[in-house]
């Protein structure tokens, strides 16, 4: 199952809104087949593993290890359960049942009806963590959001709100880790100030992939310049801008002429209905989002109970009173009590990081 989980991770960035799934086939203590879900709409992991076995006679009496319950319904592909039964695989270890209402235990039952032995729960905790984004979005019907912020020792996120700073707070190793998060989540969220002040590209800068994350920008009045780097065609990726329904129609036309995808939502006192926006993002098959915005956007996301996890990097620097605070508490309603659980912490050279799970009471 360790091997199946490792294979499943290869589907990161390519299979959303589907979960990442891996499968391994074993006979006489040797791996004879393996596969993973490579792309949305493509073969599922079980079929990939079966197809990888050159001599199909070897499949008879073999054992399959799969990270998620095989499907028993027709979707973009045929049912995996039928492929397993037809291959005469004798036993299947399933790491976790599929909570999707179209499967939900049905796949395991169909296997048993087909005379295939089934065991459930092997490394279930690890499988749930692998697909925590998918599981969260499936149950809440909004994308899972990881809020990432970097701060100084005196809890400042920037030297100034008005000017872009060429001085990075965190070190190059921490920045490398954030690039990996961009690849994993494949959707990066920021506010309009990040575009106006920093002229952020929001691209993926490491050499192990030529895929750039989708950029999602909160821009109530469509005030960002279309000449900003984030809108450049060189990145070959989708850009979504979330704006108010009350925005100037001429401005909407200009964005649409530049092939920018707009989501228009209700607003009150120039504050967008972010919950409405996130529901629309879910409808567009967006399941996981990395937020790299500033204090105002971060505070608003907490206020609207949209933060699923919070990742805080702390650098050994002191900025002083002119710096930008970690949160803009004018946006925060203290009646929203939070249950915050530390999941992980560590050190990256002189930086430290802490990852928190967020639940709203």
Give, in order, the Cα–Cα distances in Å from 235 to each of 67, 229, 289.
33, 9, 18
Give, in order, the Cα–Cα distances in Å from 344 to each of 16, 43, 347, 354, 357.
25, 34, 11, 6, 9
Residue (of 2, 41, 37, 42) closest to 22 by Cα position: 37
List the Cα angle 92/98/101 in 5-degree steps: 135
Pairing mode, strands 267-268 and 214-218: unpaired
Cα four-point dihedral sign 301, 290, 239, 142: negative
| Residues annotated as part of the active site | 46
Q: Give the DSSP letter string of 192-243.
A: HHHHHHH-------STT----PEEEEE-TT--S-TTSGGG-GGG---EEEEE
Give, in order, the Cα–Cα distances in Å from 160 to each of 155, 164, 185, 230.
13, 7, 28, 22
List the Cα angle 187/341/279 in 5-degree steps: 35
């Amino acid at each position: 199952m360790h091997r199946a989980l490792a294979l499943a991770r290869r589907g990161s960035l390519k299979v959303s809104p589907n979960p990442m799934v891996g499968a391994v086939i074993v006979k006489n203590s040797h791996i004879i087949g393996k596969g993973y879900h490579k792309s949305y709409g493509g073969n599922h992991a079980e079929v990939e593993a079966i197809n990888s076995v050159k001599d199909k006679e070897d499949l008879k009496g073999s054992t399959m290890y799969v990270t998620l319950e095989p499907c028993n319904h027709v979707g973009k592909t045929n049912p995996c359960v039928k492929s397993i039964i037809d291959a005469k695989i004798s036993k299947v270890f399933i790491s976790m049942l599929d909570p999707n209402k179209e499967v939900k235990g049905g796949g395991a039952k169909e296997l048993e009806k087909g005379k295939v032995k089934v065991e459930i729960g092997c490394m279930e905790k690890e499988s749930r963590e692998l697909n925590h984004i998918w599981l969260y979005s499936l149950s809440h019907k909004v994308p899972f959001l990881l809020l990432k912020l970097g701060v100084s020792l005196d809890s400042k996120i920037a030297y100034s709100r008005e000017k872009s700073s060429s001085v990075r707070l965190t070190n190059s190793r921490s920045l490398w880790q954030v690039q990996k998060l961009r690849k994993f989540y494949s959707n990066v969220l920021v506010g309009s100030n990040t575009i106006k002040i920093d002229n952020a590209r929001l691209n993926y800068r490491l050499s192990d992939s030529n895929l750039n994350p989708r950029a999602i920008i909160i821009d109530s009045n469509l005030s960002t310049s279309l000449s900003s780097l984030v809108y450049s065609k060189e990145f070959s990726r989708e850009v979504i801008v979330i704006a108010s329904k009350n925005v100037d129609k001429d401005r909407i036309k200009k964005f649409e002429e530049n092939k920018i995808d707009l989501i228009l939502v209700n607003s009150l006192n120039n504050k967008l209905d972010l919950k409405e926006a996130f529901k629309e993002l879910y409808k567009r098959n967006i399941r996981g989002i990395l937020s790299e915005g500033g204090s105002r956007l971060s505070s608003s996301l907490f206020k609207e109970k949209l933060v699923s996890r919070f990742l805080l990097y702390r650098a050994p620097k002191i900025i002083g009173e002119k710096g930008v605070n970690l949160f803009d508490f004018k946006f925060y309603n203290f009646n929203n009590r939070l249950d915050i659980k530390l999941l992980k912490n560590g050190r990256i050279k002189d930086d430290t990081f802490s990852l928190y799970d967020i639940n709203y009471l």
